[in-house]
């Protein structure tokens, strides 16, 4: 399910914010980061609104007076919020609203791994399509655009207008 979250996360953030100055590498990392909770046996804080907001608050407070660093780091919690939307965590109230609905994270494992195989294949294919769309939309075949993205996470302003 990595392509689904990485591709749809970056494409979704671009379509919402249209900001070439966000660090889209961190958006991508943030959108796949909650998948790491699979090693903990199920969803935890990264699958909650409180977890994403906590990371956002840390990024904002830690970068006070450092606007450029804040702009870079803000991509991580934005990606985490995209993950919550894309995996449907918001449909599990006890998990999404933790700790307000109790101290537990609810029943069940990660929603990402509990889907039928056909649904997973469709979502992963949609993620690959989103990554291909991003590659073409932001002209990543151009070495200069690709180098800018890999170095800074930014998109070339000339191709984003």
Report the number of distinct structural domains present in the chain: 1
pLDDT of residue 38: 85
pLDDT of residue 95: 85
146, part of any domain: yes
83, part of any domain: yes
103, part of any domain: yes
11, part of any domain: yes
Q: What is the pTM of this model?
A: 0.92
99, part of any domain: yes
161, part of any domain: no
pLDDT of residue 113: 73
pLDDT of residue 92: 84
Q: Is the peptide bond before 99 cis (omega within 30 degrees of 0)?
A: yes
Task: Render pLDDT for 69-107 as a digit per residue (tens, 0 to 9).
Answer: 998 999 999 999 999 999 988 888 888 888 887 777 766
- Residue 38: domain span: 2-156
d(CA 146, CA 141): 7
67, part of any domain: yes
d(CA 136, CA 96): 34
- Name residues of the chain where pLDDT drops below 70: 106-109, 111
pLDDT of residue 106: 67
pLDDT of residue 104: 78
């Amino acid at each position: 399910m990595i392509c689904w979250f990485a591709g749809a996360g970056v494409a979704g953030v671009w379509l919402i914010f249209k900001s070439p100055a966000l660090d889209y590498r961190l958006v991508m990392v943030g959108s796949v980061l909650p998948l790491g909770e699979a090693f903990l046996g199920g969803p935890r804080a990264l699958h909650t609104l409180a977890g994403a907001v906590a990371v956002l608050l840390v990024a904002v407070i830690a970068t006070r007076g450092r606007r450029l660093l804040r702009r870079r780091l803000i991509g991580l919690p934005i990606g985490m919020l995209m993950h919550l939307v894309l995996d449907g965590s918001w449909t599990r109230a006890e998990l999404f609203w933790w700790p307000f609905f109790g101290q537990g994270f609810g029943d069940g494992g990660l929603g990402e791994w509990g889907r039928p195989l056909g649904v997973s294949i469709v979502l992963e294919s949609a993620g690959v399509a989103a990554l291909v769309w991003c590659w073409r939309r932001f002209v990543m075949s151009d070495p200069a655009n690709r180098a800018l993205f890999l170095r800074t996470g930014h998109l070339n302003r000339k191709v984003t207008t």
